Each structure stands twice: as structure tokens, then as C-alpha cells.
Structure 1
Amino acid sequence: MRNLLGLFLRGIMLLIALASISSREDEPLNVQEKVKLDSNMQTKQYQTEIVLNTDGSYFIKEKMDVQFIKPQYGISRTIPVHRLQYYEDSAQKEHKFLYYAKIKLQDVNTDILGRFQNGNYVLDLGDGETKVERQNYQISYRLTPYHTEKDYHNIYGLVLPDQWRNPLPKGSSFTIHFPKKVKLSKLHFYSGEKGETFDARKVADIKIDSTGHKVTGTLTKDLPIGWGITCFGDLGKGYYTSTAKPDLGKNTLLASGICFGILILLFLKFGRNDKIKSSIQFQPPDLDSAAVDCILKGSVSDCGAISLLLYWASEGYVFLKEEKNEMTIYKLKDLPPDVPEYQTYFFENLFTEEEPFLITSDVPDRIKGVMEKTTEKINHCYQDKIYTKGSGIARGISFFLTIAPICLFAMLSTQYGVLNQDERFIQMFSLLGICSGALVLNVAVDIWYYVSGSFRKKTAVVGGVLCGGGLLSFIIFYINKVLQSKVFDFTGVMFLVCGVTLAGVFLTAFMKKRTKQCVEWMRYLVGFRNFIENAEIDRMRILGKQYPNLLYRVLPYAYVFGLSETYAQKMEALNVEMPVWFDCCGSHLTFQYQSLFGFCDSISKYIGSSDSSSEGLSGGE
């Protein structure tokens, strides 16, 4: 259980790390902000020359003639590389689509510093040491847009910037060179702020040369701050020889295939438990109750160590006496030398020559540190005999291999998308639901044989709902964002990744394999547990007559099985005598249900083990 909790916490840390990565400053969080005027500069001229390539990329040269009112070190040029774009079709219906581009600088005439910020590539132009009053800045760069459409043959891009911090003056111009002949009627030019689609011909004179390969535009009036000019046109099928595709699909498919392949190999190596077929048993096993607790749960709990007090009492080594609100445990005789070392250690630390008895109120002082050391010794004695070597590590690896593909897909879809902070958190919580569900299903498999049937079903249902709900919410969220054009459309890849994740969840749940020795133990213990939980009163009465003290020897095992309440109620119904090792307050002659609860609850309370107490006394519900 502790290992699974550790895995879960590491999974949460991984998701938080991924969320942090996907929330980097180069993500378009504030592209809606208004452009702020820089009153210290005046733009004298702005010229853009664009060469469209047959692979859909653009080679762009820009010249900016800037006058400063007060001398400055330089300017900033903001180039959008990640945003939602807008255009109108022939029916004047507005469309939007996701725009993502990579930029590669080619040449500049000054010192330059580039950075990604809010979906833009920001260039700081100037040497940072010398102030200038007027400067002609020149930059050139290659801009490569990424698309997911199979047949994309459009031109779309800013020909004059919309995030320039000055009005663009009359006479500023742009030129577009096309690799193949185009018709001006096929091209649409829009002006305005981001998202606006006013006809740019009202502010610019736009012409095409006689060859049909070059289009020029010159501003006939000043363009207000924050306004740009965008060119859109359907160039016709076959215009581009190729277009750039996002790496999301290819990278995610490759990662998913590798992860799933390793998951299968790990499962074949470490998974596939031998089937545990229970046999009918009513006699306690040849193991003490603490060992049974460790074998059932994979590691012993405080509940298992506490059960040794009942075990020793039923074997005649201690005597329990209830006195008002306390319980006193008296040592009757030493343990035999052949008992496991952890029993000897625990027993000798509880009962000393000076004080061969233990009062529940003295528990905190008497067993400070002893309980932890005892559980360590029990675990050391049995843990290597429970699961095959490496199976626990294999499950840990499998857990991360299971969530890695869908986390990678989420991270890359966020990188290529325009999700806001709230949408990122919705996506992260979907992944958290999947991780939580996987953890609960792992727990359900591990506790299957020592909890009640109803609790098994509840645990499996909770795990299934968390995992299935997380996957379903992730699918719905992603498809919704595709329809909103906020992420690229990789729906097919997304379904494949979700399928791999779902398969990985179940493979991981059954990854830990029990040893042959443990399987034999489990076959006996499952049958013994079924007897404790399901035995009829008449059957128990007959066994009690045939095997004196048998019913009391079962008590410590009922406690670690989580069936104390169930078993104690049956004992009360049988109206059997109190055991000789238990002196109940009030001189009751028959078994008292409340007395057992008082003893176990007192010990658990005083060692600060309320969780173990509830587990031991709740019947697994």
C-alpha cells in the first residue's frame, strides 16, 4: 500500500511538472491584450518583402525606419507564431483556425536577442550599449507554418504587423512573391486588429504584376496602432509540393508503441499470477496472525502487530484482564525458542522482568519505537516470500509507462494549442483521475483476498469510475477543443493513446506476481477467511464442540482479516463461555462482543494507530 501511495504521489508530481512545462511563457495566454503605444518613437517607413515557397514556408524581409524622440538603445519586433487566425470565405462567413509556426532567423543588421512570449517571437533589436536617434533596422527570417490538413494549399499570414507599437505610416508597403502564377481575385486582404476582417483595399493600393507572380500593396493612409494587414487565399490543389506537419502524432505514436511493447514484456515476465483456488479450511494456518497480515497485504500493518496479543493469549502466553476503562495484559510464561525472531523481540519489549504486565495507558511509553521496529522485522521475514523478485519494481515502471503516452499527448497538444490556464487545469485533472483510478485498481487487486466481497466490488467500481471517467473527460475535452480550433486535430491518435492507457492500467494492476509459496499460503488463507466470514452458527457450534478452544484461536485471524465485528457477533450468538485467558469486567460468563472491541480499540488508540484499528474492526466495509 505504501509503495502504491508513493507511485501515486510521484504521478501527481509528474502531472504538475507537465502542467508547468505546458504553461511556459511561449504559450499564447495574453494574445488578446491591446497593443500599447510607444510614444517615444515614430515609424517613418515600414516595408515587408515575402517570398512564398512551394513547401508552404515563407522567407520574409522587413525594413523599419524608426525615429526616436529621446535616444534609445533599440526596439522590439513582435512576430506572432502561435495564435488563432481568422478569415472570411466567399460567402462572407468568418472562420478561425489554429496557427502554429516555427521561425528561423536568417540575417539582421544589428545585435539581436530573441525570446518566446505569449505566443509570439519577440526580437530585441539594438546593441544595448549605444543609444540612437534614428535607425534603419533590417531583419530576415524563415517562417514555417504547421498544419494537420491533408490538402492544405492556402496562403495565410500577416504582410504588415498588427503588434507594432506605432501607427504604420502612409506609404509603407509589402510585396509577395509567388512560386507559381496566381490571380489577384483569389487573394483576400484583411485589415484591423487581431480577429477583425475589414477589407484592406480601403487602406492600401494592392496590385499584381503582369506575370502573376508578384503582388504589391502600399498604404494609402496611416494604419492605426494595433492594426495589421493579413493575406489569405486558396491557391488551389497541388500548389504546394509539401507542408510541415506537427510532430505530435508521430512522436506520440512512437512513444505509445514503445511503452506498450515494454508493458507487454513486463507483464509476460512478472505478471500472470497462478490462479488461487481456495480450499475449505476451518483450522488456523501454521502461521501467526502477524505473518498472515503481512502475506495478505504485502506488508504488515500495526493491526497485524496488535493481533499478536490476541494470538499469544489464545496460545496461553498472556492473560487479559479488563478493569473499568483499561486493559491489563499479564505475561504468563516465556515464548518458546522456535518462534520467529520478531515475536521474541516484541514480547520481550512489552514484558520485562521488572514489569511482566502491560496496562493500556502505559502503551505510549512502553512501546515507543518498538512497534515500528517490530513491523520492520515482520516485513523483513516475509516480504521476499510474498511477491516474485522485481515484480514490485516492474509495477512501478508499468505505472509510469501507462500514463506516459497520454501525458505526452496532452503536453504536446497543449504546446501546439492555444489553451488558457483553466483549460490546462481541466486537462490535468482528467489525467489525475486516470492516475487515481489506476492506483485504486492496483489496490483492489492487492486487497482482493482479504476484504469482503462487497468491499471488493466497491473498490473496483471506484477505480473503474475514476479511470474511465478521467479517460472519458479527456476525450470529450480534446474533441471539444478540436471543434473550437484550439488544438490540432489528432483525434485518431488520441483514441489510440487512450486505448493504450486503458490496457496499461489493467496490465499494471496484475503486474505483481506472488511466489509459489505465497500462492499456497493464499489458497489456505482464502478458504480460512471464507469460513470466518460465511460459516453458519450451527456449523460453528459443532466445530466448537469437536475442537475445544478453536473458536477463540480464530480471533486474532479474524482481526487481521478485518472480520472482528462479524466474527464477534457470531460468537455472541453462540452464547459461548468467556475464554480462560480473558477476564471481562463485570464477571460475565459468556463471550462479550463489546469487550473485544474495547481491548483492540484501546491498544490501537494508545499507539496512535486509528487507521489500523478501523481496518481491523470494520469488517472490510
Structure 2
Amino acid sequence: MKTETYDVDVTVDGEGYYLVTEQIKVKFLEDRHGIYRYIPNKGFVAYQKDGDIKKFPYLARVELELPNSDIKESKQNGAKVFRFGYSDETVRKGDYEFTYRLTPERQGQPFPYIYYNIYPSKWKNDIPKGSRFTMRLPEGTDLEKLEFYYGAYGSAESASDIIDLRKNQKENTITGILKEDLPMGSGITCFSGQVQKGFAGVKGKPGISLFLWVPPVILLAVLAVLYLCFGRDEKIIPSIEFEPPQNMDSAAVGYVIDGIAEDKDILSLILYWADKGNLWIEEEEEYLMTLHKLKELPKEAPSYQHTVFRRLFENGDSVYLNGLKNDFGLTMSSAKTQLIQEFDGESKAGIYTKPSWRLQRLAFLCTLLSVIWVTVLTGHYSYMTAVGVVIQALLCTGMGLGMYFCCRGIDGWYSFSRAKRTLMTAGGASLFYLSEILYFVFYTYKASGNEIFDYTMEIGIVLAAAAVMMPLTCFMKKRTPKCIRWMGQLSGLRSFIETAELDRMRVLAKNRPEIFYHIMPYAYVFGLYDKFAEKLEVLEIPAPGWYHAGYEIKSWNAGVMLNCMAGNLTFAAVSLSQPSSVNASGGSSGGGNKGGFSGGGFGGGGGGSW
């Protein structure tokens, strides 16, 4: 595209707005639909004062005065966009004339001065020699106080070298004609330090303070009441246990302790079935295991057990554990669904109360939406750069991820090792609160630089409310009374596996060695198989009848065997996971009373062809 002429007529009205007519004549070097022109309607004004650059945010209304069908209007990145032409037509030249009104509506500080970017610095090519502009000013304006700057954004170079100025004090007009091409990337800006009454009445920052902080605070109050009514767990009182539960297999225990059916819960049944005499395990080579069927499951076994057991041995009585086909993952998925139905189906008590289960998800959304709400609302009135938007989005994502990991750590408190649950809960909470702090620091930095309207106090209130909502969300799920009774027994068993003294375990190993093999599948779903294996390594426990090695073992060690089995089961879980788990239930603009510079005022922007 080549610009042949670019003429601008600016009327500065005494009521406090700029009426602008632009006439642009272009020639296209290839078929194009037309041109587009964008004018910032929010951003910040920048000006010089006492040798320093000062800024304040603004919000303006940009309206097309004589709209017609050739012009399509839209908003994009803090600017009003006018697009000329039709998508189904192409042209090689064009002569475009349009008039718009730019009215400053909100400013971060009083600024009763004329400050306007006549030629946009982001026009896509040179503005040619001979192009002219006319400024029509309010009565009483001292034309001698008008200053013109040109160059790239921030340049304070006088435009007298590039324009021929003609002043008419009687008619309050000043005309400028370009004496040479204005290079792409350069603009021309007019500034006057004379006070203009029409611009003195522009209002301050938008009055959205209550809209910012009141809704999140109300949400906090509602969530607090809901938590007190539906979310407080009864205290779990651990019983002294070293026996696995009588009527609950390891998969059921894995689901009860965290409310999530996982692959490891289902695969733990291999150890459970071996202990019950339904299969035996052969270690053909180190870490390579084959399962051999001994007998069918009892008819009264839960449906998820039958689903997996039948699929394991549908092609024979032996199956290589690490050679299970990928479609076995579908069987795992079905079994996990059946496991959930076993506890949460119709007429079942469930693991968590249904109101609290739903409320946790609602609370999660409300906490995040509180921050997103203020981000969107403040962004509507202030221009945030693309980098700033990305930073805010990443910090909101950090809050969401932190809250998710913290919730997951608390829900799975009894299914993780101490190190893992600490990492999940403390790490998740740290990520959430660190993201909040960084969000506040970033917003404060932008506001203190006067690049956006300052709602620091309101942002602080919202982030404080979200900080309280986060733990309410994490602890919102409430276990059913029946589950509380189960958890008393299961937490006792978990405590035994994790903290039992070796002397006590040696007594059990001498009198009832088989009990450790009963416990193995439960240690696996508790996430404590490594700790349990360490203890078994120092105990002299005879090999179980259901485990055979196809190679010579110099000395039997139950701990090594458990580590080997756990490694194989974990590998299978990773290989077969389909899903891995199923849940229960503006263009810079500006002005100043000492001096301006190119691109610092209202208007400006850019444009090109499309």
C-alpha cells in the first residue's frame, strides 16, 4: 500500500471533545479490500513535567459521526477499529473520508489541556509530503502556546523542521503542511499548556469500587455459611488396628480413603487375590511376573472384581502382567465405575455427602471467579498490554492449580505417603498464595506507574476474600457417618503400617507371619508400600505359598518382593491408564502542563490495508 495524501481536520470543542475528520487517499500494490484505522479509546496519557515523564490512565468514547455501510466498527485491544471496504470485493485504490468524535470520559488525574496525536505513529507506511492538517481551537486559545512534536513515540523533537505552520489567530485555526514525508513509525502531536475549561470537568476513575469487592465478599460469606452447615467433617478417631478390614477389599479401601477410584486401587486386587488363594505369582526373571489362575472368585465378590478377574484370564489360566494389552484399560475404566457404584449408587450411603461434594466444586469456581471478575472488570476500563494480560492469566491459572493440588492432597490424605501429601497440600497452598501475592504486586506496579486506574485497595480485599475461600473450598467435602466409622478403622491400620515399632512387628512376624501378606495390598493403596517394604526387609518372614521365583534366590526377603510387586503394579497402572482416575459423586496516549512529546496525547493509533 502507498499513501498518496493524508489530510486531517481537528476541531477542539469548548465542551471537551475532539471532532476529527480524516481524508486518506491510497494506492494498493496488490488486490486489497480496503483500509482499517484504529484509534485508542483507553490507555494512558504521557507528558513531560520538570524533566520527568508523567503518566495517567484515561478512558475515552470514540464515535463515528456519519456512519455508512462501507465502514465496519469493532473494538480490539483498547482501541476503536474502523474497517473500510467489503470482504467480497477487492480494489487497487481508494479515497476514504470519515469523521469521528473522541471524548475523554475518565482520567486518572485532572488534565485541562489540549493534547492530541494528529498523525498516528503506527500507520503502515510513510505519510507523504504535502499532506496537511488543520486545528480549529476554542475561542481565546493562544496559538503561540501550541507546540508540535514529531518522531517515534516519546520523541520531543520540534515538528517545525518537517511542517510548514500557518496560524490564524482571528479564526483560531492553525494549519500545517508536511514539507517532507513523515516516515513510518513517526507521528505528529499537538500540545498546549493553556488551560481549557472544557477539559477541566472530565471525571476521575470509573466508580466501580463496590462492583469490584462486594460480590466476592458476599460469596465469601455465603461459602462460610455453607461450610458451617454442610462441610465440617466429624472428627475421625483412629482405632488400634493391625488387621485388614473383614468385609472390605483393598480396592474398596483405596476408594474410601480419598473418594477417587484409581488404577492402583484396582491393580492392588492382584495381591489381594493372591492372598485369598485365587491366583499365584511367578517371578520368571527379576521384575518380570506372570499371574497363574488357581480358582474362580466367589460368586458374592463385588462386580468390579469379577470384571477384572474374567478379563485377566479370558485367554487362559496364565497371563504376563507387564504384557497386558492397552485395551485392558477399558476394563479398568469399567471396574472403576463399578467400584464407585458399589458405594455411591442409588440407596448407597456414599463416601461424601452429596451436598458437600457439589458445594466443593461450586466453591472452587466461586474462588477463581472472584479473581477473574476483578481482572475482567478492571481490564474493561484500563488498557492492559498483551504481556500484562498473559501475566494475569498465568497467575489466575497458578491460583487454580494451587487450589486443585491442595484439594487433592486433603482428599487423598490417607492414600498418600507423608511426603507426598505434604507436597500436595503445602505445595498447592504455597502456589495459590504465591500467585495471589504476585498478582497483587503486579497490579500495584502497573497502578503506581499510572498506566491503569488504581483499584489497589479493592483488589487487595478481593484477594484476601479468595485467600479465605481457598481453605473453605479444600475442606468443604464432608464424609458420611458410615464413612467416618470406616475411616476410624482404616486410619488405625494405616498408622500401624506407617509407625509400628519393629519390636512389635517382630512379635507378629514370629507368631502370625501371614498377617503381613494380608496387609500388603492395603499398604499399596495407602501409598506406604515403600515404608512397609523397608520394615519387612529386617523381618524374617517365610515366603508366601502364592509367590514363586523361576530363578535361584539366595535369600528370601519379603520387603524386596513387595518392592518388586509394587514396581510391576505401578508400571501396569501407567501403561494401562485410559483415564487414570474417576471422581466420586491502547495505544499510548497522553498530555501535561509543562510539555508533551510525539505519540503522548489522545487519539493517534494506527492503520493499514486488509
Q: Which TM-score band applies after superposition, normalised by the shorter structure? A: 0.7 to 0.9
1:141 maps to 2:97: no
Change (3 A) 1:361 1:87: closer
Residue 176 of structure 1 aligns to a residue whose secondary structure is coil
Change (3 A) 1:573 1:222: closer
Alignment of 1:540-579 (within 5 A): 540-545=505-510, 547=512, 549-579=514-544
Partner residue of 2:445 out of 457, 463, 480: 480
1:246 aligned partner = 206
Alignment of 1:249-260 (within 5 A): 249-260=209-220
Change (3 A) 1:415 1:198: farther
Distance in 2 between residues matched to 1:543 and 1:494, nearest whole Å: 60
Distance in 1 between residues matched to 2:293 and 2:35, nearest whole Å: 87
How far did 1:337 drift? 3.6
1:291 aligned partner = 252
Distance in 2 between residues matched to 1:216 and 1:76, nearest whole Å: 31
Q: Is the 1:153–1:236 Cα contact (8 Å) retained in structure 2?
A: no
1:443 aligned partner = 408
Residue 275 of structure 1 aligns to a residue whose secondary structure is coil
2:42 aligned partner = 82
1:461 maps to 2:421: no
Question: How many residues get paired?
Answer: 558
Partner residue of 1:104 out of 46, 52, 63: 63
Q: Is the 1:441–1:459 Cα contact (8 Å) retained in structure 2?
A: yes
Q: Is the 2:114–2:196 Cα contact (8 Å) retained in structure 1?
A: no
Change (3 A) 1:488 1:598: same
How far did 1:528 drift? 0.8
How far did 1:251 drift? 4.0
Q: Which moved more, 1:97-106 or 1:196-205?
A: 196-205
Q: Is the 1:87–1:96 Cα contact (8 Å) retained in structure 2?
A: yes
2:604 aligned partner = none
1:595 maps to 2:561: yes
Distance in 2 between residues matched to 1:367 and 1:307, nearest whole Å: 15
1:173 aligned partner = 135
Change (3 A) 1:482 1:166: farther
Change (3 A) 1:611 1:596: farther
Change (3 A) 1:154 1:306: same
1:216 aligned partner = 172
Q: Is the 1:450–1:529 Cα contact (8 Å) retained in structure 2?
A: no
1:263 aligned partner = 223
CA offsets per residue over residues 426-460 of structure 1, 9 Å max, x none?
Answer: 33222222222111111111121232323322223
How far did 1:148 drift? 3.5
Which residue identity lines up with residue 113 of structure 2 in the other structure?
A: I
Q: Is the 1:604–1:610 Cα contact (8 Å) retained in structure 2?
A: no
Distance in 1 between residues matched to 2:84 and 2:534, nearest whole Å: 84
Distance in 1 between residues matched to 2:333 and 2:67, nearest whole Å: 68
Change (3 A) 1:428 1:328: closer
Partner residue of 1:512 out of 456, 477, 498: 477
CA offsets per residue over residues 296-323 of structure 1, 9 Å max, x none?
Answer: 2322222222222222232334333444
Change (3 A) 1:227 1:320: closer
How far did 1:125 drift? 7.3
5+ long unaligned stretches in structure 2 = 582-610
Distance in 2 between residues matched to 1:263 and 1:403, nearest whole Å: 13
How far did 1:491 drift? 1.3
How far did 1:292 drift? 0.3
Q: Which has the higher contact order (CA 8 A, sep 6+)?
A: 2
Residue 172 of structure 1 aligns to a residue whose secondary structure is strand
Q: Is the 2:62–2:100 Cα contact (8 Å) retained in structure 1?
A: no
Q: Which moved more, 1:242-251 or 1:336-345?
A: 242-251
Residue 311 of structure 1 aligns to a residue whose secondary structure is helix
Distance in 1 between residues matched to 2:205 and 2:76, nearest whole Å: 23
Which residue identity lines up with residue 594 of structure 1 in the other structure?
A: V
Q: Which moved more, 1:487-496 or 1:575-584?
A: 575-584
Distance in 2 between residues matched to 1:94 and 1:455, nearest whole Å: 51
2:603 aligned partner = none
How far did 1:68 drift? 8.7
Q: Which moved more, 1:512-521 or 1:587-596?
A: 587-596
1:61 aligned partner = 19
RMSD, matched Cα? 4.4
- TM (norm. structure 1) is 0.75
How far did 1:219 drift? 3.2
How far did 1:579 drift? 2.4
2:356 aligned partner = 391
CA offsets per residue over residues 170-212 of structure 1, 9 Å max, x none?
Answer: 78331226xxxx8859976443344344678997577889xxx
How far did 1:576 drift? 2.0
Q: Is the 1:398–1:508 Cα contact (8 Å) retained in structure 2?
A: yes
Distance in 1 between residues matched to 2:568 and 2:23, nearest whole Å: 85
Change (3 A) 1:234 1:409: farther
Q: Is the 1:144–1:244 Cα contact (8 Å) retained in structure 2?
A: no
Q: Is the 1:153–1:234 Cα contact (8 Å) retained in structure 2?
A: no
1:157 maps to 2:118: no
How far did 1:520 drift? 1.6
How far did 1:166 drift? 5.2
Which residue identity lines up with residue 380 of structure 1 in the other structure?
A: Q
Partner residue of 2:12 out of 50, 54, 57: 50
How far did 1:539 drift? 0.7
Residue 485 of structure 2 aligns to a residue whose secondary structure is helix
- TM (norm. structure 2) is 0.76
Q: Is the 2:274–2:546 Cα contact (8 Å) retained in structure 1?
A: yes
Which residue identity lines up with residue 57 of structure 2 in the other structure?
A: L
How far did 1:575 drift? 0.7
Residue 38 of structure 1 aligns to a residue whose secondary structure is strand
1:494 maps to 2:459: yes
Q: Is the 1:186–1:234 Cα contact (8 Å) retained in structure 2?
A: no
Percent of matched pairs sharing the same residue? 26
Alignment of 1:363-378 (within 5 A): 363-364=324-325, 369-378=330-339
5+ long unaligned stretches in structure 1 = 1-35, 210-214, 616-621
Change (3 A) 1:603 1:482: closer
Q: Is the 1:87–1:232 Cα contact (8 Å) retained in structure 2?
A: no
Q: Is the 2:77–2:383 Cα contact (8 Å) retained in structure 1?
A: no
Which residue identity lines up with residue 309 of structure 2 in the other structure?
A: F
2:593 aligned partner = none
CA offsets per residue over residues 486-545 of structure 1, 9 Å max, x none?
Answer: 322221122122222222222221122221111221121111101011111211222345
Residue 574 of structure 1 aligns to a residue whose secondary structure is coil
Q: Is the 1:107–1:141 Cα contact (8 Å) retained in structure 2?
A: no
